Amino acid sequence: MAIRTEPVTVNLGPQHPSTHGVFRLRVTFDGEVVLDVEPVFGYLHRGTEKLAEERTYVQVVTLTDRLDYVSAMTNNLAYVRAVEKLAGIEVPERAKYLRVISSELQRIASHLIATGFLLQELGAFATPLMYCFRERERILELFEMLCGARITVSYMRPGGVLQDAPEDFWPALDELVKAMPQYIEELEGLITSNEIVLARTKDVGVLTAEKAINASVTGPMLRATGVQWDLRKADPHEVYDRVEFDVPIGAIGDTYDRYLVRVQEMRQSLRIIEQCVKQIPKGDIRSRTAYFIRPPVGDAYGAVESPKGELGFYLVSDGGIAPYRCKIRSPSFINLTVLRDLLAGWKMADLIIIFGSTDIVLGEVDR
Amino acid sequence: MAKALAGTDVARRINETFSGVALESNKTDVWVAPDDLHRAAKFLHDDKELDCAMLLAITAVDYVERFELVYHLRSMRKNHTVVIKTRLSGREEPAISSVTDIWQGADLQEREVWDLMGIRFEGHPNMKRVLLWEGFPGHPLRRDFVR
Amino acid sequence: MYGAGMAKGLLVTMKNFVKPDRMFTVQYPDRKVSPTELAKMSGVGVFTFMRKNPKTAFKAMTGQMTVPARLKQHPRFRGEEFTWYEQRCTGCASCAKYCPLGIIRIVTSPSGEQVQEGQKYHLDVFDIDIGRCMFCGLCVEACPYDALHMGSGFEEGKYRRKDLVVTVDRLKSQPKHPSTWFRPQIQGKEGYHPHGEKDVTWQEAGRHEQPSRKHQEEKWAKR
Amino acid sequence: MEGQAVKAGFDFLGIYGFFDGLMPESLDWLAFLVAGFILAFAIINALVVSTAVYTWFERRALGKFQSRLGPNRWGPFGLLQPIADVVKFMSKEDTVPDGADRQVFTLAPIVFVATGFLVFALIPLGSNDWLSRLNIGLVFIIAVTSVNTLAIFMAGWSSRNKYAMFGAMRGVAMLISYEVPMALAIAAVALASQSLSTYTVVTNQEVPFMLVMPLAFFIFVAAASAEMSRTPFDLIESESELGSGYHTEYSGMKFALFQLAEFMAPIIVSCIVATLFLSGWRGWGPIPGQVWFILKALVVLCALLWFRATWPRLRVDQIMEFAWKGLFPLSLLNLFAVATEIQLLRDPVTGALTDSDMWAMAAINWAITGIVFLAVSRMFARKQLQRPLPKPSPLANMGAEAE
């Protein structure tokens, strides 16, 4: 006897424990199996691009903090890079190093969050999440030393950084760089070889390299598919061409690979910081720029490798004190393109972890 | 170091295959007519030398008398970037052909452009608003949008 | 070996269980203290302390003793209330201009006073609406005379929106404990911390020496 | 509770005898009733209070595991936290969703809690402190724990919520599957102790059955943690997927009842494990049996807590696979091995098993367990732990310079 079944449509979200904010997945289930997914978002849309048109070039820095609110430093960096390209501003050496140090710290913090929440979604009762937050806390303390804020840093300015690091910053940074590898080791001990994690994440949500490139996927998600592409190497900005680091890649592009790539990137970031601390010269931290920057008429696209992928700012200037158009190429938003292809056919529990492994931040998706 | 291909070179290459498609060019950008955009995009994607495998971003800029669409393209194998632009006239629902069949990555971005700028992409499988709700009056990123 | 990974995970959690020295909970506004800690605070041995004040020691042992605790912050922390020096302010309204949100309201009238450089205006209104403020600090960065500083408080919760506006009277009267954010001259001061009792005078808060007449004339001539 | 010296302990007969002595003979039934009520009252309250303490303990211990503090504000070390929780639950609005089946919706938490209390009646806390010496105790435990399934299904179905439905459906599938290996593991215990009564299981348990039948112990603990839906088997209420599963729509006291039953489950399971596999109240030296029992139960409780704090959750199909392809064959193998050993080792006339027989069984069973473990680990390890080495894809070349 054939039992008649009918698909069930469930709204996962906007208030669901594992949607990373206000995000809605309209999912059609056949039993536990996902038939169709439609992401619905925009709940956090604040019109950053429109707001930027009415702010001066420096004031927009504060808006970029609020895009990807777990990695404000890289947002600042991407924006000020675009402005510097547009207006032709030179940056002092010391500022470049400070920028790299702070954005690599931010990358570690962001990847810690991604890993912690992935494990939370796997059902590990908050323990890995708490460990991740514990380590992130130390990084945020460093940010507080650097610029007086922990999340919304507003640290970088066109032409340099806001202010030099205080004296007690350097010993604290050394301590962190020394202690961090063993924390990452500990985190890996809890997760990497755990058979339950392997059973849940291995071969789940496989993304192929061709598909990823065609769908403009960037960041750890792209690297997990085996494509060795990192903007820090491909188009070295700041001082990335003066430091040595590897670009970790995954083997097959499944959820486990995405996790592994993130963990290995944390190690590489520590390597970069270590070398930067050795190399950093004394000197200015900010070149003299007018407070109201008036770039020449034209456009510029500046991008950096943010923890989520390629974060780009496309600025159009009409010669005034505010950008005529400020387009944000947000990696979280564009990585969502493949969501439907990734999720269809998997089970409900897989849906949650695949979605978690894409590591989106709603502030950046909705802008 | 990634290289931004000179617009004139790219324009020359495009015109060698489809003559007259690239209207004008300067050091960085190439302008094509909106009707030829799809052809040019397909060529840029398929050509072995240009090899633009990834569509980085689609931006619409509102210059009041016209809209300008900016396509940032990137070759992963050759490590260079190409910028092509096209000008659209008319403020009442200007339309252009979609490039989703060439790059899947255009999917959400074209929806976003439609949502915020009001440029319709013909041939897009799911041309709906993405950030704002259906029934939102107007397209907020336009310069003449009034709350 | 199958199961080894799971066992490794168990060891990691057990290590954290038996060695809670990396506990990162911050207790606020007060925290529980143990008798040992209390004894250390009063500067005597644990047993002496227990013998002297058995009642407190017992309370501490049963986990009922609390001492006030303030969050550990760097002196650079950008806090909620602002520190403002009337003597340094000329009423130029740079802060209001640079505020991305436009939440600083300034009304000035000519005063005829000359404090440092150029003419000084009298401030009739200087309202900072911290209910909408995002503490980016651009106003402080913009202030040419180092008159406005960030504070380091974070306990400005109010029941009404209009109470969140920091008025000029409050700015005048509140203790001057500026954050050292973007103010290297305060940061360089030995042992200064915004949480301390010591006020910073308006002379100390400024970066600039008193400019000479000649210097000013040169500067103006350039414009 | 009284020590062993008192002839009739704190059990039904003792209380009944006491009241029977007070009353005239025609009021026998009243004495019966009063004794029953007193017992029921005592057991329910003892269990509720210990659950309350356990919630505090679990939250503090989980806090330690996660390197944070856990509740420490209300009362010494936060001990009064459960009271605060209950007050909060009671002051919350008791909502019933629109379109829910009101009767079933109200009944579900009651059924859910009642099963836990029923099981506890059979646990002998000491050689004299038992509340019911039912001669089919093991069968009763299996039967009553399956009523759980019904309660979960009632809650999920009547809520008229899709998440609750998902939780309930998962719950029914999983609980029914795990009852099979659990029952088979209990059957092995019954064979070895040659009794179905929980009391006799302990008295006949000269050697703790955990040592005699490690495989059965493992199966029982795994199945039981699935039955009470704790990690790694907590997919019924997996909060990252389903909100909170079958009790998504519950609030106020009804939700508190679910919480009570949920936190009660580990206590009951650890008591059952202590009884069936750790030789209950038996111990050495001057320490009274009750203390031994509580200690053993506490050890099991802490181990379950430790697992919960560490491991993530399995997927629904993996859990079902684990039940039917893993635990079920293992429990059959275990039952077969134990039955064969008993047939070979027991006294041919009386059928009794001596201590040395038990130790012999233990040796054989440990060997079997080791072989099975190695075989299974070989089988899975090859499949799971090997991954291809990452190879850079030819689709990208970061070092390339455009010509």
Sequence-distant (6+) residues with CB within 8 A of A204 are A254, A255, A256, A346, A350, A353, A354
Count of domains for chain C: 2
State the average pLDDT for chain D.
Answer: 82
The domain in which residue B62 lies consists of 3-122
If you ran DSSP here, which 8-state letter would residue C164 be given? G
**Does residue B128 lie within any of the structural domains?**
no
Q: What angle do CA C47, C52, C56 make, to 5 degrees?
A: 90
Residue D210 pLDDT greater than 70, yes or no: yes
Residue C211 pLDDT greater than 60, yes or no: no
Q: Kindly state whether residues C104 and C159 are assigned to the same domain.
A: yes
Q: Which residues of D125-150 are buried (b: 16+ CB within 10 A; e: fewer)?
A: bbbbbbbbebeebbbbbbebbbbbbe
- What's the mean pLDDT in C184-213? 73
> Which of D310, C200, D198, C98 minimizes the C-alpha distance to A190?
D310
Q: Which of C17, C18, C28, C31 to mutate to test the interface with D (most CBs of D within 10 A)?
A: C17
- Alpha-helical runs (H) found in C32-187: 35-42, 46-52, 54-61, 94-98, 138-142, 168-173, 184-187
3-class SS of residue B126: coil
CATH number at residue A166: 1.10.645.10
Q: Kindly state whether residues C147 and C117 are assigned to the same domain.
A: yes
**Does residue C138 lie within any of the structural domains?**
yes
Paired with B89 in beta bridges are: B66
The enclosing H or E element of B72 equals strand B66-75
- What's the mean pLDDT in D165-179? 87
Q: Which residue of B has its CA nearest to A216?
A: B105
Question: Chain D within 8 Å of C62 (Cβ-Cβ)?
Answer: yes
pTM of the model: 0.89
Sequence-distant (6+) residues with CB within 8 A of C112 are none
Residue D42 pLDDT greater than 50, yes or no: yes
Q: Kindly state whether residues C166 and C143 are assigned to the same domain.
A: yes
Count of domains for chain B: 1
Cis peptide leading into D181, omega within 30 of 0?
no
**Does residue A19 lie within any of the structural domains?**
no
Q: Which residue of B has its CA nearest to D398?
A: B79
Number of helices (H), then strands (E), in chain C: 10, 7
Instruction: Provide the pLDDT for residue C151.
Output: 83
**Does residue B10 lie within any of the structural domains?**
yes
Q: Kindly state whether residues C63 and C148 are assigned to the same domain.
A: no
Question: Residue B110 burial by CB count (10 A; 0-12/13-18/19+): exposed, middle or buried?
Answer: buried
Residue A40 pLDDT greater than 60, yes or no: yes
State the average pLDDT for chain A.
Answer: 87
Residue D237 pLDDT greater than 80, yes or no: no
Count of domains for chain A: 1
Lowest-confidence range among A137-151, B34-48, D227-241? D227-241
Scanning B78-97 for CB atoms below 8 A from A yields 79, 81, 83
Cis peptide leading into D109, omega within 30 of 0?
no
If you ran DSSP here, which 8-state letter would residue A43 be given? T
Sequence-distant (6+) residues with CB within 8 A of A89 are A83, A158, A159, A287, A289, A293
Instruction: Provide the pLDDT for residue D235.
Output: 79
B112–chain A nearest CA distance, Å: 10
Q: How confident is the model at residue C210 (pLDDT cuts 50, 70, 90)?
A: low
Contact yes or no for D170/D239 (Cβ under 8 A): no
Instruction: Provide the pLDDT for residue D7.
Output: 43
CB pairs below 8 Å between A and C: how many? 84
**Does residue A280 lie within any of the structural domains?**
yes
**Does residue B37 lie within any of the structural domains?**
yes
The domain in which residue A357 lies consists of 50-365
**Does residue C221 lie within any of the structural domains?**
no
Q: What is the pLDDT of residues D280-331, one digit of tens each?
A: 787 777 877 778 888 888 898 888 888 888 888 888 888 888 888 888 888 8
Instruction: Provide the pLDDT for residue D6.
Output: 39
Paired with A29 in beta bridges are: A8, A34
B41–chain D nearest CA distance, Å: 19
What DSSP assignment string belongs to C3-69? THHHHHHHHHHHHHHH-GGG------SEEE--HHHHHHHHTS-HHHHHHH-HHHHHHHHTT--EEE-
**Does residue B131 lie within any of the structural domains?**
no
B118–chain A nearest CA distance, Å: 14
From chain B, the residues in CB contact with D397 under 8 A are 76-79
Residue located via tokens 């002297």: C52
Instruction: Provide the pLDDT for residue A192.
Output: 84
> Which of C107, C96, C176 minimizes the C-alpha distance to C138?
C96
**Does residue C175 lie within any of the structural domains?**
yes
CATH number at residue B111: 3.30.460.80
Residue D266 pLDDT greater than 70, yes or no: yes
**Does residue A14 lie within any of the structural domains?**
no
Q: Which of A29, A228, A231, A310 to mutate to test the interface with D (most CBs of D within 10 A)?
A: A228
Cis peptide leading into C29, omega within 30 of 0?
yes
Q: Kindly state whether residues C84 and C124 are assigned to the same domain.
A: yes
Residue C208 pLDDT greater than 80, yes or no: no
Q: Which tokens go with D195? A: 């009794």
Residue A305 pLDDT greater than 80, yes or no: yes
| R_g of chain D computed on alpha carbons | 24
Scanning B45-104 for CB atoms below 8 A from D yields 53, 75-80
Contact yes or no for A185/A235 (Cβ under 8 A): no
The enclosing H or E element of B133 equals none
Contact yes or no for D156/D168 (Cβ under 8 A): yes
Instruction: Provide the pLDDT for residue D403.
Output: 46
User: Cβ separation of C3 and A195 shorter than 8 Å?
Assistant: yes
Instruction: Provide the pLDDT for residue A1.
Output: 61
Instruction: Provide the pLDDT for residue D1.
Output: 35
Q: Which tokens go with C45? A: 């041995």
Amino acid identity at D273: V
Q: What is the pLDDT of residues A120-162, one digit of tens each?
A: 888 887 888 888 888 888 899 899 888 888 888 888 888 888 8
**Does residue C199 lie within any of the structural domains?**
yes
Q: How confident is the model at residue C216 (pLDDT cuts 50, 70, 90)?
A: low
Q: Which tokens go with C85? A: 């020096």
**Does residue A1 lie within any of the structural domains?**
no
> Which of D274, D294, D290, D144 minimizes the C-alpha distance to D198?
D274
- CB-CB: which of D395, D398, D400 is closest to B53? D395
Question: Chain A within 8 Å of B135 (Cβ-Cβ)?
Answer: no
The domain in which residue C31 lies consists of 27-69
Q: Which tokens go with A114? A: 């991604």
Q: What are phi and psi of D34, to 5 degrees?
A: -65, -45
CATH number at residue C166: 3.30.70.3270
Q: What is the pLDDT of residues C74-128, one digit of tens each?
A: 888 888 888 888 877 878 888 888 888 888 888 887 766 655 555 677 788 888 8
